[in-house]
Structure 1
Amino acid sequence: MMARIDETDPFKVVAMIPTFETPRLILRPTRLEDANATQALFPHWEIVRFLSDRVPWPYPADGALTYYRDVVLPAMEAGNLWGWTIWLKSGPDHHIGSVELRDLNGDNRGFWLGLPWHGRGIMTEACEPVTDYWFNTLGRETLRVAKAPDNTASRRVTEKEGALVIAIEERSYVGGVCAAEIWELTREDWNAFRAATRSV
């Protein structure tokens, strides 16, 4: 894997973000040119209601462009966010969602998936290489994610990986304030989960 030196801190090596392939998906590092495809797919209440209230709602016409240009890409360049857009292998120009990793206390991973692809195990598949990257390339010891209790599908993805609820905290989502579950997955438990699933 290639890497570069952060020019503002010569002791900090920032990994170049890889592309991942899974049986059904291609995960590409987020690019500004992906914004139009995201804009066409993202602004639906069932997608945004369990996202942070930092997401504007109603979603503006330039929402995806602004988010990628002003938030995601600068943070990726700085080396504290790793973002991928999700594409179907069966239609490589068919963007269906995204997933991010971030150095943010209590919420290290976030994702969304277009409505037509819900209920197919796609996000579980997309999260596998991304989560492995967090632990075994970036070298993090724990992954913590916040989940609204009614966000059943997202909670299921995290639970299947072997994560456990370690705290309840009040969080503000687009759909309102609620007592969110803080889930934690350790590198040891993740690698044990991966070994078990590979042996099946």
Structure 2
Amino acid sequence: LQEGEIERLGDDRVRKLNIRLVAATNVDLQAAVKEGRFRADLYYRLSVYPIQIPPLRERIADIPPLIDAMLTRFCTLYEKKLLGVSDKAMQAIKRYQWPGNVRELENMIERGIILAPNGGWIEVEHLFANVAAGDFNETQISQGGSLEKMAEPCPSSNLIDAILASGLPFEELETRLIDEAVRRADGNLAGAARSLGITRPQLQYRLKKKDGG
């Protein structure tokens, strides 16, 4: 890696290489180096231009195009024609935390294509185990991918009490509210602003203020 040379096993001649090496991992290599689980010299030779890719749960806007590509591939593989993923199923997918990242999404979409009827939609029950279509409104997706009963919603009359009891400062409450609105709008600031009842310039001002700008 350092000199761009190799010596083949059993050969006595050094050969020059002209390659570009790309390595990927889901392990924190800096921590692994400190703990002695990964060679420091190898890490520094590989870490020329590191790229940090956020987990899928932080890239909700990437999910629909990823699903489109997976539908094309797996529908061809299984020789099926589907209308796509239903709105309710897409909502469930976006609410899930995806501990297995894109590979887990890929497996789930493949399962949905196998179970969905030819010519129909992929529904929630085709993606997540042990759930009927009519039950989804009363359930939520857990971290482990199973369905659990949703907690009773907080009555509006108790909303202020719940906020005050949280002990969070106003700035933190505002930040969390804005972040959640942007997440639910898949990063669309205009949509997030509408859900908050403010204008897009007002939202942009608050985001800039939140980021220290």
TM-score by length of 2: 0.25
**Greater relative contact order (Cα < 8 A, sep 6+):** 1
Which structure has greater strand proportion?
Answer: 1
TM-score by length of 1: 0.26
Which structure has greater helix proportion?
Answer: 2
User: Of the two, which has the highest radius of gyration?
Assistant: 2
